[in-house]
Amino acid sequence: KNFGIKDSLASLGLKKSNAGTSTGTRWLRSTGAAIESFSPVDGKLIGTVASTDERAYEQALSTAHEAFKAWRTWPAPKRGEVVRQIGEALRQYKEPLGKLVSYEMGKSLQEGLGEVQEMIDICDFAVGLSRQLHGLTMHSERPNHRMYEQWHPIGIVGIISAFNFPVAVWSWNSMLAWVCGDVCVWKPSEKTPLCGVACQQIVAEVFEKNGVPEGVSVLVNGNYNVGQQLAKDERVPLVSATGSTRMGRAVARTVSERFGRALLELGGNNAIIVTENANLDLAIRGALFGAVGTAGQRCTTTRRLIIQDSVYEQVKERLVKAYAQLSIGNPLDPAYHVGPLIDKQAVKSYSDALKKIKGEGGTFVVPGGVLKGAAYDESGCYVKPAIAEVDPSFEIVQQETFAPILYLIRYTTLEEAIDIQNGVKQGLSSAIMTTNLHDMERFLSHEGSDCGIANVNIGTSGAEIGGAFGGEKETGGGRESGSDAWRVYMRRQTNTINFGSTLPLAQGIKFDI
């Protein structure tokens, strides 16, 4: 069965061989190496995309630079109207785009459609925002003076995105940036380049209808070299980069060297604390989806389960039973819960992690392994979700292994549990499962979780676009999506106006001649 993939690719305008550089409706010629996109679902070549070469990059960036001069003069609500229409187009393309996400990245079709829904939601959010880019007014210490602050567009926003959310992360950035008056240059992951081409074509249709200048949405393609080109480029005041901590460190260094602004959304090592009085039905459900959803390849995947002594055995037993029910296979087929990892390199990291766990003294309660057999061999990327009992001090437990491996850790007091939860370098998402008000409030207090996201009685993954998304420490400190995350896409200006006829100086300074 091909689950309608051919039709989906055709309706998104994808071909076997695609140009990889675009300024909107125009696609630029490039002699850069072809990036081959193989589906982790069945190992087949979906299509190729040309990497952006020097000449195409220069042409694309100078078009974006010119476009900004025009786009910033459009009233924000008019820019919002264009984004509203992108939301409508995404509703129309939800099915084929969701399928492409599932087929190119390997997440379940439900999750692929969910990712497109997130894009639609952020469009709606951005439309409302386009009438609310509020500043503040302040009282001046000087008579007949007024002070206020306003927010201006910042310029070109570079977006570097990861493979695991191949379309949503771009939309979280670009929809907000566009209503803010910025123009965007997107470099998608080289593992999911066709998702980038498809999004660019959807946006280009809407932009053309509305007379939006060429260069407001730019697509470039390539590996980390093109990412570094964006990070170095002084024409790009803001670089929003989503991916591994290693990538974030390299991007942050390059961007800060030239005093640019970096918005970093990096790796997580997320934990759920299960207290002695937790509702275990919720705890098991939350941990299960958090650990195996997207085959453990979400930045918010539950990697550690920190369980109170008195319920430890019970939680372990129930999880082992739940894992036995998991079916692993083609993510486009609703019969399966878990799809493949992104590629063979990811399978190797998973297998290496299993070895390390054993080497450091961990015990497997659900053993992992690479799946073999007719349904799996074409791709070679299907693995078994595993559960291991570990000590939090293991080196491997401190790292983010981007695969479905769940660690069980025992604790006695809540203080100890919070110390374990915070005792890693990453600080993205966290949760507590409890019915005890004191434990809940302690976990959410200044002495509690040190993460950007802290949940009660829901798991670590599945954030809504209304909140600010991101994390602390090695997760990079950036915030995207809802709340006031829009501010990073603008520059703040403080204005003081004198409506009197004298010139009093601040701080009471006298300068009489």
Residue nearest to ligand NAD (CB): 227
Place of tokens 């802290």: 454
Of residues 191, 186, 222, the one with CA closest to residue 201: 186
Contact 138, 213 (CB under 8 A): no
76 or 353: CB nearest ligand NAD: 353
400 or 439: CB nearest ligand NAD: 400
**Rounded CA separation 166/98 (Å):** 11
Binders of ligand NAD among 263-292, rule CB under 6 A?
Answer: 265-268
**Identified catalytic residue from 265, 400, 474, 480:** 265
244 in contact with ligand NAD (CB under 6 A): yes
295 in contact with ligand NAD (CB under 6 A): no
Q: DSSP assignment of 427-446, as one string?
A: ESEEEEE-S-HHHHHHHHST
Q: Cβ of residue 314: shortest distance to ligand NAD, in angstroms?
A: 30
With CB under 6 A as the rule, give the number of residues binding ligand NAD: 29
Q: Cβ of residue 252: shortest distance to ligand NAD, in angstroms?
A: 10
**Rounded CA separation 369/394 (Å):** 21
Q: DSSP assignment of 139-180, as one string?
A: --SSTTEEEEEEEEE--EEEEE--SSSTTHHHHHHHHHHHHH
Sole binder of ligand NAD in the list 251, 347, 396, 433 (CB under 6 A): 251
88 is catalytic: no
Q: Cβ of residue 428: shortest distance to ligand NAD, in angstroms?
A: 6
Of residues 265, 258, 212, the one with CA closest to residue 241: 265
Question: Mask of contacts with ligand NAD, 177-206, x by CB under 6 A?
Answer: ----------x-xx----------------
Binders of ligand NAD among 143-172, rule CB under 6 A?
Answer: 160-165
Sole binder of ligand NAD in the list 9, 179, 236, 247 (CB under 6 A): 247
DSSP annotation of 486 reads G
- Could you list the beta-strand ranges (E) of 26-84: 27-28, 34-38, 45-50
Q: Cβ of residue 84: shortest distance to ligand NAD, in angstroms?
A: 25
Of residues 40, 16, 39, 114, the one with CA closest to residue 462: 114
Three-state SS letters, 180-220: HCCEEEEECCCCCHHHHHHHHHHHHHHHHHHCCCCCCEEEC
Binders of ligand NAD among 341-380, rule CB under 6 A?
Answer: none
400 in contact with ligand NAD (CB under 6 A): yes
Judged by the rule CB under 6 A, the positions of this chain that interact with ligand NAD are: 160-165, 187, 189-190, 223-224, 227-228, 231, 242-244, 247, 250-251, 265-268, 299, 400, 402, 428, 475
Q: Catalytic residue positions?
A: 265, 299
